[in-house]
Amino acid sequence: MDLRTAKSLLRQYDVRPNKLRGQNFLVNDGAAERIVAAAGIRPDETVLEIGPGLGALTSGLLDRSRRVAAVEIDRRLCRALEEALVDRENLELIQGDFLKLDLDGLIRRARPGGLRIVSNLPYQITGPALRTILDHLHRLRGAVLTVQREVADRMAAGPGTKAFGTLSVAVQYHSIMHRHFRLPKTAFFPRPQVDSTVLSLEPRTRPPVAVHDEALFFQTVGTLFGHRRKTARNALRQHPRLHPSSDRLDGLARRSGIDLGRRAETMSLAELATISNLLGE
């Protein structure tokens, strides 16, 4: 879909791109073809497309998969998709909010081929959408996503960098991430302020570190990075579940060999897992 076609459709269906909904429409056919190809869809798979908009990716996804479940919150865009793709029997159009979607139910219905997510994620829901996808990734075939470049940088960041944080830990714990290519601002209408990155998340068969209590691990990581300017020792005192004493923290430091005078952003996944495991004993 090129820019002229997109503008014509937006006028036809009286859609004024909504910044609060992160409505930036892909208007580069070559980029759309590369995104669909990067997904590596198998013919027996179901694809969940989040925010199909004007359908830049949808036709290509329908050509390669058993079924496409396209979730679009804007009723006018749903009508545009219905009329454009009326003859595509393997399209399931869902008018609603992805963040309220019964994703577990959709995963069950996608068997036996499984469910893969492909999406130019609406900017305004990128954070919560990524959390939902990561929570379910072990039950998915994988995900190919277009996100803001700075978000991709945070997802891939390692210890010792300012970008390293809770998102980095969650992505690297649950997935193997691959960057495919950059999309310039000019690939979208309206033109966003930043470039985007197309990336894939492949579910891990097992986490890269041994964690005894996954919920406690992410709560601990959230506590450490929620007070990222503090030392790990001072941040851990704010732990909402454990509230460890100074003596307990001294013991943790001795047993782990980890200097709690460091900040969380300098710690590896293995060190974060060790801290969580010892706190949980």
Would you say residue 221 lies in a domain? yes
Shared domain check, 186 and 65: yes
For residue 223, give both structure tokens: 């506590």
Shared domain check, 193 and 73: yes
Shared domain check, 168 and 274: no
Q: What SS3 class is residue 259?
A: coil
**H or E, element range at 144:** strand 142-148
CA separation (Å) from 22 to 95, 234, 272? 16, 37, 34
Shared domain check, 266 and 198: no
Percentage of the chain lying above the pLDDT 70 cut: 100
Would you say residue 15 lies in a domain? yes
Would you say residue 40 lies in a domain? yes
* Residue at a domain's end among 203, 234, 260: 203
CB 73 within 8 A of CB 101: no
Q: Is 67 left (phi over 0), alpha (psi -120 to 50) or beta?
A: beta
170, pLDDT greater than 90: yes
Would you say residue 100 lies in a domain? yes
Would you say residue 209 lies in a domain? no
Shared domain check, 137 and 228: no
Summarize pLDDT for 83-102 with one digit per residue, the tens: 999 999 999 999 999 999 99
Would you say residue 208 lies in a domain? no
Shared domain check, 228 and 174: no
Shared domain check, 115 and 226: no
Shared domain check, 127 and 88: yes
Omega of the bond leading into 112 within 30 degrees of 0 (cis)? yes
Nearest to 51 by CA among 95, 115, 109: 95
E strands, 28-114, are 46-50, 67-72, 91-95
240, pLDDT greater than 90: no
Shared domain check, 256 and 132: no
| Helix residue ranges, H only, 145-213 | 149-156, 166-174
Give residue 190's domain range.
Answer: 3-203
264, pLDDT greater than 90: yes
Q: pLDDT value at position 148?
A: 97
* Residue at a domain's end among 150, 181, 203: 203
Nearest to 252 by CA among 224, 229, 228: 224
Shared domain check, 219 and 146: no
Q: How far apart are CA 214 and CA 101, in angstroms?
A: 24
* Residue at a domain's end among 172, 203, 234: 203
pLDDT-based confidence at 7, cuts 50/70/90? Answer: very high
Would you say residue 32 lies in a domain? yes
Place of tokens 């030392």: 231
Shared domain check, 225 and 177: no
Number of structural domains found in the chain: 2
Secondary structure letter of residue 176 according to DSSP: E
For residue 109, give both structure tokens: 């219905």
Shared domain check, 54 and 110: yes
CATH number for the domain that contains residue 71: 3.40.50.150
111, pLDDT greater than 90: yes
Q: Is 82 left (phi over 0), alpha (psi -120 to 50) or beta?
A: alpha
Dihedral sign of CA atoms 180, 186, 190, 191 in order: positive
Q: pLDDT value at position 20?
A: 79
**Beta-bridge mates of residue 229:** none
